[in-house]
Amino acid sequence: MREIIDDIFDIEGSVLITGVLVGGKQVDIAISEAGTIVGIDEKNGARDAVEAEIVVDGSESIAIPGLVNTHTHAAMTLLRGYADDMPLQDWLTQKIWPLEAHLTGDDVYWGTKLACLEMIRSGTTAFNDMYFFMDRAAEATDEMGIRGTFAHGFIDLSMEEKREAEIKATETLVSHIKGLGNPRLTAAVGPHAVYTVSPDGLSWCAGYAKEQDIGIHIHVSETEKEVVDCVAQYGKRPPALLDECGCLTPRTVAAHCCWLDEADCRLFAERGAHASHNPASNMKLAVGRAMPYHHLKDAGANVCLGTDGCASNNNLDMLEEMKIAALLQKFSWNTQTLLPAGEAIGIATAGGARALGIGPGTLTVGAPADIVLIDRRKACTTPLHNTDSNLAYACNGSAVHTVLCSGRFVMYDRVVPGEAAILKGAAQAAAALVQRAEEAE
């Protein structure tokens, strides 16, 4: 493996992964130069699909589709450990928003580089991001080689002047991302939540997302207070308000969804909206209830998985998040059979890919070659009675050893190009950010 490591990140040719375990079977996976899976076969049939430029021995690996993190604020890696053990509203208003007021574009660049590094190292190949200075987040993501969907966090606090500024920021970002013409980078509209965006702001976001044919990324029903306040102010629950404003669509990814009731779940299913489960953040911020996964599933709504930002998680490890999701669901709803291992993997892969519109999120012919190789020589993969169980319940991101996105290597044998410089740049940016905030106090 070692001989080809120096130039493997620059090669843009076809790839063959031999003898890798997929769904309990030893197969070869052939990947075209264009970055698509063109063959997957047990009996060496895939070998005929490409004249491979790179052949990787997969016999010590399990292959899974790239993990899709459907709700994060990537650059919040810089805020990791800055404010812990607080309720959501105090956490946001007393600690997070005052520090974010001092953010710069360079901070977001370095924070996103660090986030991408961490995501790649734990098997994530696509993420749904909502934050600020998102042109710099897209730049960082492009350099790291994975997929990102970028939304400006739209917060108008019911003020006309703020709304106009947020509209401008959203339009500028969307035209910038579209102008890049990079299939790995897409734009979305990011109304923060019903308690920070007016109905006029929400309606504008819905209309603009429709006009631009892009997604909507929003926090929904995270706390009981959000629901109670929404009913008091608007006479309806958050999903009904969002629906009235046109924000519940097949392109909407709604984060948290902890306090949805059964009718809300049915509305999600009817509108084709996607519910992103963020269990670690929900438990850490003690929002009081887990997403009603069973009601969403019974209604037929798509559920996907996300970590939220590093100030409320405090990492971006989607393998770890799968286990937390499965355990939280079983515990909260007192049902051992709820969210079994295979389904937990499904919401982190196919469910996420469906939510972000990036193919089937499976290892099948025609799918984008977003592939994660998990080391079979680890304690967490020994023994392998049931691969899904090992992946969902025993492993975390440290078992990932090679990652491809769109057929290109972004990590090989646990090496990610530029890692030391990213750690240094991000640490310096985080320290300078806190210093600026303290000096301004």
Ligand X SMILES: C[C@H]1O[C@@H](n2cnc3c(O)ncnc32)[C@H](O)[C@@H]1O
Q: Rule CB under 6 A: which residues touch ligand X?
A: 73, 88, 92, 96-97, 100, 130-131, 153, 192, 219, 222, 281, 308-309, 312
Q: Is 192 annotated as a binding residue?
A: yes
Nearest residue to ligand X, scored by beta-carbon proximity? 153
Instruction: Give which of ligand X, Zn ion, none residue 312 binds (C-beta under 5 to 8 Å, depending on kind).
Output: ligand X
Total Cβ atoms within 10 A of residue 34: 12
Which of 202, 287, 293 lies closest to 252 in space, CA to CA?
A: 202
> Checking DSSP bridges between strand 67-72 and strand 124-131, what pairing results, if any?
parallel
308 binds Zn ion (CB under 5 A): yes
Of residues 116 through 155, those in contact with Zn ion by CB under 5 A are none
Q: Please give the size of the binding site for Zn ion, defined by CB under 5 A.
A: 1
| DSSP for residue 178 | H
Token duo for residue 214: 């892009």
Q: Measured from the CB of residue 237, what is the shortest distance to ligand X in angstroms?
A: 17
Q: Is the Cα torsion angle 374, 371, 315, 329 positive or negative in sign? A: negative
Query: Is 69 or 302 the residue whose CB approaches Zn ion more closely?
Result: 69
Query: Is 192 or 277 the residue whose CB approaches ligand X more closely?
Result: 192
CA distances from 298 to 289, 302, 345 (A): 18, 10, 19
Instruction: Give which of Zn ion, ligand X, none residue 222 binds (C-beta under 5 to 8 Å, depending on kind).
Output: ligand X
Q: Measured from the CB of residue 287, what is the shortest distance to Zn ion in angstroms?
A: 12
Q: DSSP 3-state assignment of 176?
A: helix
Q: Is 219 annotated as a binding residue?
A: yes
Instruction: Give which of Zn ion, ligand X, none residue 192 binds (C-beta under 5 to 8 Å, depending on kind).
Output: ligand X
Please provide the DSSP assignment of 233-291 as one string: HHSS-HHHHHHHTT--STTEEEEE-TT--HHHHHHHHHHT-EEEE-HHHHHHTT-SS--
The Cα 307–Cα 305 span in angstroms is 7
Site mask, Zn ion, residues 252-291, x = CB under 5 A? ----------------------------------------
Binding residues: 71, 73, 100, 192, 219, 222, 308
- Applying CB under 5 A, the residues found at the interface with Zn ion are 308
Binding residues for substrate: 100, 192, 222, 308
